[in-house]
């Protein structure tokens, strides 16, 4: 690890609050927040637009070399995703794109393609990076690894509220069923399945408010930074 940068890896299932918590902690620490799920979603969108089957590696692989994916940060610190220069930040946040992202993320060819982009980002600056395999594969030497989880009910309720705020009229049952399927697919796939790194701190946020969760993660970061400074 580069001594001048500090990296926090946050992994966990969808709806555990990873993105919101990681973004808030990054802002508090002055670190860059990297939402790797958004990168997989952007690949999913490109595959959808090309009319390819997202489960079919032979159909997806030829698209990858020409993919022009980039991201930057808006005035409020939120990560904006671009595909071929077009801002697709809103287009990737639909239930359909969740499924496309989950499907393409199971393909080793896609994971390999995105690995460098993620590692380079953490090499250049201090980051809070969230995803499914950050502590296990992308940044195995991260200074701090957190596995953020919550009960399926708490996660479905949160995701429903997020979608409703955007005008999506999905029901709790639909959201819970989609989430259960995605959890199963993400955890059972052969390529980089969702699991906690052995040296990760597990944090269950089911009974925590958002502020409490942010505070808990921030405390872990502060403590680890102090430990590292003392070395
Ligand atoms: O965090 P999210 O819901 O935006 O992620 C979308 C999908 O991408 C999710 O189903 C799993 C996948 N993903 C992954 O496999 N590895 C990551 N590091 C991040 C996301």
DSSP code of 200? P
- pLDDT tens, the chain, 231 aa long: 567 899 999 999 988 889 999 999 999 999 999 999 999 999 999 999 999 999 999 999 999 999 999 999 888 778 999 999 999 999 999 989 999 999 999 999 999 999 999 999 999 999 999 999 999 999 999 999 999 999 999 999 988 998 899 898 999 999 999 999 888 888 888 888 888 999 999 999 999 999 999 999 999 999 999 998 888
- In this predicted structure, what is the pLDDT of residue 14? 83
Which domains does the chain show, CATH number per domain?
7-230 (3.40.50.300)
CB-CB contact of 16 with 150 (8 Å): yes
Return the pLDDT at 189. 85
Quick one: pLDDT at residue 76?
78
Q: Compute φ and ψ for 56, nearest 5 degrees.
A: -100, 100
- Determine what percent of the chain falls in helix, strand and coil, rounding each to the nearest 5: 50, 15, 30
Contact 157, 77 (CB under 8 A): no
Ligand 1 centroid, distance to 93 Cα (angstroms): 12
Q: CA 34, CA 31: separation in Å to the nearest integer?
A: 10
* CA 148 – CA 22 distance, rounded (Å): 10
DSSP-based three-state secondary structure for 8: strand
Rounded distance from Cα 131 to ligand 1 centre (Å) = 6
Report CA torsion sign: 210, 79, 18, 25. Answer: negative
What pLDDT score was predicted for residue 2?
A: 62
What is the model's pLDDT at position 75? 84
The protein residue whose alpha carbon is closest to atom 5 in ligand 1 is 37
Protein residues whose CB sits closer than 6 Å to any atom of ligand 1: 14, 36-37, 40-41, 98, 101-102, 105, 131-134, 182, 186
Cα(228) to ligand 1 centroid in Å equals 30
φ and ψ at residue 19, rounded to 5 degrees = -60, -50
């Amino acid at each position: 690890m580069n001594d001048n940068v500090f990296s926090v890896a946050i992994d966990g299932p969808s709806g555990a609050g990873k993105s919101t918590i990681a973004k808030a902690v990054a802002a508090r620490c002055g670190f860059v927040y990297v939402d790797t799920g958004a990168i997989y979603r952007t690949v999913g969108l490109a595959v959808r637009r090309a009319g390819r089957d997202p489960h079919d590696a032979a159909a997806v692989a030829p698209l990858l070399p020409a993919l022009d994916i980039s991201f930057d940060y808006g005035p409020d610190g939120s990560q904006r995703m671009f595909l071929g220069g077009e801002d697709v930040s809103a287009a990737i946040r639909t239930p359909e794109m969740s499924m496309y992202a989950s499907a393409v993320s199971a393909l080793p060819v896609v994971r390999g393609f995105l690995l460098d982009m993620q590692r380079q980002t953490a090499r250049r600056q201090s980051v809070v990076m969230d995803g499914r395999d950050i502590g296990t594969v992308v940044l195995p030497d991260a200074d701090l690894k957190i596995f953020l989880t919550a009960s399926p009910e708490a996660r479905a309720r949160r995701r429903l509220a997020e979608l409703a705020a955007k005008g999506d009229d999905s029901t709790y049952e639909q959201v819970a069923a989609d989430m259960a399927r995605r959890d199963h697919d993400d955890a059972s796939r052969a390529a980089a399945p969702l699991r906690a790194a052995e040296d990760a701190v597990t944090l269950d946020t089911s009974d925590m408010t958002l502020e409490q969760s942010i505070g808990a993660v921030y405390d872990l970061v502060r403590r680890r930074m102090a430990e590292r400074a003392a070395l």
